[in-house]
Amino acid sequence: MVSNRKELVLEAAQGLFLRYGVKRTSMGDIAREAGISRQTLYNTFPNKEAVLGAMIAQLADKVVVDIEAGLEKAADLGQKLDVFAKHIAIVHYDFLQSSPNAEDIIAGVTESAQKELAAGAKRNTKIICRVLEPYSDAIERNELTVPQVADFIQRSATTAKYDAKSRKHLLELLDVLRMSVLKLSGVA
C-alpha cells in the first residue's frame, strides 16, 4: 500500500509541478490531487523537497532502464551513442518544451533534487564508461581516458538540452558529439 501511495503522490505532484511549478504547488495541493489527506501525505513524505527528490530519483531510474533497454538493441557504437543522446537529452528536451514549468523538475530547484540529478548523471556516466571500454586503446591513443570521455558525453548531452535554440539545433549538437566520439574511438 505504501508503495502505491508513493506512486500516487509522485504522479499527482508531477502533474501539479508541470502545471503550476514547484514553488507554487503546496503539500495541500499534492494531497488533494492524490486524493489523500495531508496527514497521509506527510506520513509518506516529510515535505515538498522530499517529494521532488523522490520524483527526480524515479525519473532518473527510468532513464537508466530506458538506456539499458536501448543498448540491448543497439548493434554498434554509433547506435549506442544515439541511445544516450535520446535518453539523456532529446526526451528531456521534449519534456522541457511541453510545459513552462518542466524545468523545475529537470533542473531540480532544491538541494535534494540537485543531489538526485547528480546521482542519476553519475549512473549514466558509468553506463557510458562500460560502453566505451572496448574502445579504450583508441581513446588512450588520443591522450584521454574512458572516464573523461564518458563524463564529457554526459555533460555535453545534458548541457545541449538546455542550451539548444531549437530541437533541430539540439539534434545538430548531438550529431557533432556523436561524430566526435566515433572519431575519438577509432570507429569513424
Which sequence spans correspond to the domains of the chain? 56-184
pLDDT above 90 (res 110): no
Of 1.10.357, 1.10.3470, 2.60.120, 3.40.50, the CATH number of 56-184 is 1.10.357
> pLDDT tens digits for 155-165?
999 999 989 99
Q: What is the CA radius of gyration of the chain?
A: 19
> pLDDT tens digits for 47-99?
998 999 898 889 889 999 999 999 999 999 999 999 999 999 999 889 888 87
pLDDT above 90 (res 23): no
CA dist., res. 114 & res. 135, Å (int): 32
